[in-house]
Amino acid sequence: MMKAISCWLLCIVCLKKPSYGQYYYYDDLHYDSPLSWELGIGAGGMNCLTDLGGKKGIGKGFIKDLNLSNTRLCASAYLEALYHYTIGGRLEFTYGSVTAYDSILGPDGGNASGRYQRNLSFRSKILELSLLAEFHPLAWYAYNNGLEQPRCSPYLLGGIGLFTFDPKAKLNNNWLSLNDLHTEGQGFTQYRERRPYKLTQCNMPVGLGVKYEVSALLNARLEIVHRLLFTDYLDDVSNSYINPEAFYTNLPATQAALAAQLADRRRPANHSSGSRGGEKRGNPDKKDAYFSVQVKLGLLLNRVRKN
């Protein structure tokens, strides 16, 4: 991952060596260069799309089933190189958290009552390092047609990221890591087809934003970035309930007891006594996802004032 990041930044630097005096910034008090470097920070909200929670009624796709009240704070820091305002690369670190819980649907959830009765929940911190490509179509058009660069520039984002997560659930006022409990039998001899999931994985960030040149040295941005994941276990829910006896044959007794409680938290009205597993717990057909919306401020590092 770090080798790929180093090669990407090297390629950007090698596009053209910066030379001051190429053209002036809009206030004609600063020299500009073909390759601009920007260091910035951001803050905003993060949310997720998983098997848990959602909106009342029949489950819908993508943001139609998004519950905005689950939004949590996130922050980021980035370093970007942008060539002639049009195309660039960015190395970015993001920290945030995600959460979802079935109880948000309430007992009057209608067609969502099954999710409410399931009664599962999770929360997880997110740490992400991403390498993003950025393209400004209006700036590209202006550059190729000899026009003045727009002060407000919409852009597209895409790339690859590496993120860590650790879904946890609360039991007796303690937050327990669900990955350690193998709640769907991942790695158990009775469920060999269910492999344990790794807590560090790759993702694919895609998004869009708009940049506004506040001054010669400061940019303001508004961005939304959606992460496509290769796992359905961001919330530790994907498949069906397992036979609870499997916990006791694969885990130490104390850990098995915790796993049995957190794997099946169905309310009594929807819990079949003596369950041997197999009932639907999640939907393995669709991967989980998370996204962020942030406001960012960036400092231009190599734009210098004329003497």
Per-residue model confidence (pLDDT) at position 111? 63
Assigned domain for 134 exists? yes
Range of the domain at 153: 2-14+34-305
Higher-confidence position of 251 and 55: 251
Assigned domain for 22 exists? no
- DSSP one-letter string for 123-183: EEEEEEEEEEEEE-HHHHHHHHTTPPPPSEEEEEEEEEEEEE---EEEETTEEEESGGGTT
Look up the pTM and report it. Answer: 0.86
Count of structural domains within the chain: 1
C-beta of residue 234 within 8 angstroms of C-beta of residue 200:
no
- What's the average model confidence in pLDDT over 183-193? 94
Assigned domain for 21 exists? no
- What's the average model confidence in pLDDT over 251-261? 96
3-state class of 69 per DSSP?
Answer: helix
How high is the mean pLDDT of the chain? 87
Assigned domain for 143 exists? yes
Assigned domain for 29 exists? no
Question: Which CATH number goes with the domain that contains 247?
Answer: 2.40.160.20
Assigned domain for 195 exists? yes
**Tens digit of pLDDT for each residue in 198-250?**
999 999 999 999 999 998 899 999 999 999 999 999 999 999 999 999 999 99
Assigned domain for 78 exists? yes
**Tens digit of pLDDT for each residue in 127-152?**
999 999 999 999 999 999 989 889 99
- What's the average model confidence in pLDDT over 74-79? 98
**Tens digit of pLDDT for each residue in 156-170?**
999 999 999 999 999
- What's the average model confidence in pLDDT over 101-115? 78
What is the enclosing helix (H) or strand (E) of 289? strand 289-300
Assigned domain for 98 exists? yes
Per-residue model confidence (pLDDT) at position 7? 55
Per-residue model confidence (pLDDT) at position 24? 44
Task: Assess whether pLDDT exceeds 80 at residue 126.
Answer: yes
C-beta of residue 289 within 8 angstroms of C-beta of residue 226:
yes
Per-residue model confidence (pLDDT) at position 58? 58
Per-residue model confidence (pLDDT) at position 277? 79
